[in-house]
Structure 1
Amino acid sequence: MNPDNAAESTDPAERQGKGHATPSRKEAEAANRRPLVANDRKAAAKAARDKDRIERDREYHAMKVGDVAHYPVRERGPVKAYIRDFVDARWNLGEFFLVSAIVLLILSVVTNKWPVISLASMGIVYVYGILAIGDTFVMWFQLKKRLKAKFSEHTLSTERSLGIYAASRALQFRRWRMPRPRFDKHGNYPE
């Protein structure tokens, strides 16, 4: 059948069209109009909180199982994945800092009868903290060199935020890191 004659067809199966008239501009604008503030603010706030909670739960689950497509925005991208893999492959002094600080703090409280032991344990906490910070700087300089070789200079324009991202991951206990490390053992450096 000739497409020019489609409108003239009497058979309803051959007739084409959307089945209704195009709404006027006034009608279309009225259909899209919504109030800026909901009539029931408490219900709207509760619905927004529930929506945010569902989104956070989905992102948290994605980070636990390694579903990269549903990671939070701050965790996405090849540069962030490379940083995570590099930090997870390396033994970092910072990842044991929290545990050692708690143990040494308890030791200093328990041994308060012997001020020398208490003072020594607090000194060890400070020395270990300084070493952990120094190790984090060494890690960042190694990682920065690798990032510049692997990715373009334009990609690394947010160098400061990438350094903070790497340092915050390096200072966490490996088992508690989110997104979870891709490899079970240390030593699997990214290419």
Structure 2
Amino acid sequence: MSRDLLGAISVHPGRRLTARLAETLAVVDAASFETQRVPGLTLTLEGVPGDPHAGFTRRAGPREPWHPRGAEIRSGRQLSIVSVEELAEIASAMGHSVVEAGWIGADLVMEGLPSLSFLPAGTRLFFEGGACVVVEAQNAPCRHAGRAIAGHTGRPGDELSFPKIAKRLRGVVASVERVGEVAAGSDVVVRVPEQWIY
């Protein structure tokens, strides 16, 4: 890269933040992607044991149009992480008192982390039980989650409104970098890497 271009790129230093793990959730019905509150989770290098998203690989879908549909690819979607604050924002915009994290299949719910959905790829979350997860990407909302919300609210229109309203508020997907335990109510150290726009 030329020195001129390097001079035009603004590099923002990394930061260390703290937050709280408000909820841990797990799939209890294998026929559903919805999750329910549990006191804690054991994270392995494949994700949450028994979760539909657990594993080192997965099949490419509509989120990866650059790969043939169904091709085996590395999984960067082992965990779904959302925030208390963004869920409240979604619920308000949809005209509901609440949108539960479990309705949309979340595994971890964070509190006190502003704009969680905008955490850049490479952000690491360090949990008291030793586990570390790495943010892979923003999680795009889908009609599947909207359908689940509609099932709980009794409003069929939620299936279509959720993907529009929840855009850039749906949280992030992450993969496990270090195994360990995570427990609801514990503190989390968040390390945001250096950032720049290429």
Q: Structure 2 length normalisation: TM-score?
A: 0.23
Q: Which has the higher contact order (CA 8 A, sep 6+)?
A: 2
* Larger Cα-atom Rg: 1
Which structure is higher in helix share? 1
Q: Structure 1 length normalisation: TM-score?
A: 0.23
